[in-house]
């Protein structure tokens, strides 16, 4: 029996991933470089340590750049793009229906707590979550399952009693390593990546009501 729904944040609740990528692409173009999705994909849904865009830029240019100036300008541009984003389709309905059905709501994000809670508060979603675990709360982020284990423990549910909603390969891998049924819901960026390890793929949460998703999972368990 499903007792909990666990959301990713970046790219699943709010599309912060496309603004992140686009702001770096703009930076590369400004300096005469090029940033491909295949290069950037390694860091989607995991720690920023997985890929250093400034190392990549310097390697293309063959010379050092003013890292502090680039980071400051790029971060400002990312913020401008993120603040234009709306909650992704179906998210609010899933949150409302989960509460109505008596499900616990958790959130597992590789981003910092300040980043996640700041946006959740701005979007009016914070109060709905029973547990929020972020990069600050664990030693290892996705694709390691530690974040999911932390949420499961906090919600007091078993892996087979939860559903994970993820948008990236790293997030999906983390959920599956934790033994959780994972639904892939790609955004405009991650739809171009391989999400084959997910148990189910939806183009949008708006495509399948939560009640129907629960029925589908129950059927698959028989």
Q: Is 215 exposed, middle or buried (0-12, 13-18, 19+ CB in 10 A)?
A: exposed
Q: Which one from 10, 15, 20, 144 is the annotated catalytic residue?
A: 10
Q: Rounded to whole angstroms, how far apart are CA atoms 126 and 11?
A: 17
* 122 and 154 fall within a common domain: yes
* 62 and 72 fall within a common domain: yes
Counted domains in the chain: 2
Q: Which of 82, 113, 134 is the last residue of a domain?
A: 82
User: Tell me, what's the pLDDT at 221?
Assistant: 66
* 102 and 128 fall within a common domain: yes
* 71 and 102 fall within a common domain: no
Question: 43: number of CA atoms within 13 Å, CB side?
Answer: 19
Q: Could you list the mean pLDDT of each consecutive 10-residue stretch along the chain, which spans 222 residues?
A: 97 93 96 93 81 95 96 94 93 97 97 95 95 97 97 98 97 98 94 93 97 88 57
Q: How far is CA 55 from CA 29, 50, 70, 98, in A?
A: 15, 12, 12, 43
User: Tell me, what's the pLDDT at 207?
Assistant: 96
Strand partners, 104: 4
* 107 and 163 fall within a common domain: yes
Contact assessment for residue 65 and residue 54, using Cβ atoms and an 8 Å cutoff: yes
* 93 and 173 fall within a common domain: yes
Q: Which of 62, 82, 102 is the last residue of a domain?
A: 82
Nearest to 56 by CA among 45, 44, 67: 67
* 71 and 151 fall within a common domain: no
Q: Which of 82, 109, 135 is the last residue of a domain?
A: 82
User: Tell me, what's the pLDDT at 41?
Assistant: 87
* 21 and 92 fall within a common domain: no
Q: Do you know the residue count of the chain?
A: 222
Q: Which residues form the domain of 123? A: 4-15+87-221
User: Tell me, what's the pLDDT at 62?
Assistant: 96
221 is a catalytic site residue: no
Q: What is the pTM of this model?
A: 0.89
User: Tell me, what's the pLDDT at 52?
Assistant: 93
* 213 and 184 fall within a common domain: yes
CATH no. for residue 162?
A: 3.40.50.1000
8 is a catalytic site residue: yes
């Amino acid at each position: 029996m499903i007792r909990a729904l666990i959301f990713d944040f970046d790219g699943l609740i709010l599309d912060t991933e496309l603004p992140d990528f686009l702001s770096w692409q703009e930076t590369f173009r400004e300096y005469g470089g090029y940033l491909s999705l295949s290069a950037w994909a390694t860091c989607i849904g995991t720690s920023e340590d997985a890929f250093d865009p400034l190392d990549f830029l310097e390697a293309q240019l063959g010379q050092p750049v003013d890292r502090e100036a680039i980071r400051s300008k790029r971060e400002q541009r990312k913020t401008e793009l993120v603040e234009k984003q709306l909650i992704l389709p179906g998210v609010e309905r899933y949150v409302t229906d989960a509460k109505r059905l008596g499900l616990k709501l958790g959130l597992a994000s590789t981003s910092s707590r300040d980043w996640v809670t700041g946006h959740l508060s701005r979007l009016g979603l914070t109060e709905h979550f029973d547990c929020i675990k972020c990069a600050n709360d664990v030693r290892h982020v996705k694709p390691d399952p530690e974040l999911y284990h932390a949420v499961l423990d906090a919600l007091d549910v078993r892996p087979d009693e939860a559903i994970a909603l993820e948008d990236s390969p790293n997030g999906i891998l983390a959920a599956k390593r934790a033994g959780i049924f994972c639904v892939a819901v790609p955004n405009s960026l991650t739809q171009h990546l391989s999400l084959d390890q997910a148990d189910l793929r939806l183009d949008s949460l708006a495509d399948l009501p939560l009640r129907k998703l629960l029925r589908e999972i129950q059927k698959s368990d028989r």
